Every structure is written in structure tokens, then in C-alpha cells.
Homo-oligomer: A and B are copies of this chain.
Amino acid sequence: MKLVPLGDRVVLKQVEAEETTASGIVLPGQAQEKPQQAEVIAVGPGGIVNGKEVKMEVEVGNTVIYSKYAGTEVKMDGTDYIIVKQEDILAVIK
């Protein structure tokens, strides 16, 4: 079983925080939106979404910073996923 996102949606899997790593990313909490580091698991086809052309910029395997605020959590086969719109992804970590 796998999740196939529609439109401009992206399926993410949260990266385990390695708090002891000196160069690890620490994402401080914030009142309105909680940024998160995650791996891209599946990417929707893009195209016309809500009347606007959306081109997908992220790829499966990317590590991204996203804004958790608008995402939806789903658990499948014992794994937690988050489904977000691409516009809720702020940056790719390279």
C-alpha cells in the first residue's frame, strides 16, 4: 500500500531528530507554525490546482524544511506521514 498524493500535495516522513549531533538542525517551536525537517516520500502531479498552474519543484528523497501548520498526519503500516501542499515546503536542505 502506498499514498499517491493529488494535485500539488506532497507526502513527507519526519526525520528523526539527532539531538546529539553538533551540526544538527534545531527547529525552535513557534506559536503559529512549527517548522519541521522531513524526507519527501511521494510528490503529486501538480498541474492546475485551484485554477493556478503549479509545477512541482521537490523530488522524492529530498530533505526539506516545511511548515507543519497546514499539514495532515496519516499513519500507514505503522509509519507516520504528513501530507502538505508544496507551498508549505520552505526550503530543501542540500
Chain A: residues with CB nearer than 8 A to chain B?
A: 1-7, 9, 11, 22-23, 25-28, 30, 33, 35, 42, 47-55, 57-58, 65, 67, 72-78, 83, 86-87, 89-94
Contact = CB atoms under 8 A, between A and B. Distances in A.
Main secondary structure of the interface of A (DSSP, over half): strand
Q: Quickly give the copy total for this chain.
A: 7
A3 B47 CA distance: 26
A84 B22 CA distance: 25
A4 B75 contact: no
A42 B90 CA distance: 12
Contacts of A72: 30, 33, 35, 65, 67, 90
Contacts of A1: 23, 25, 93-94
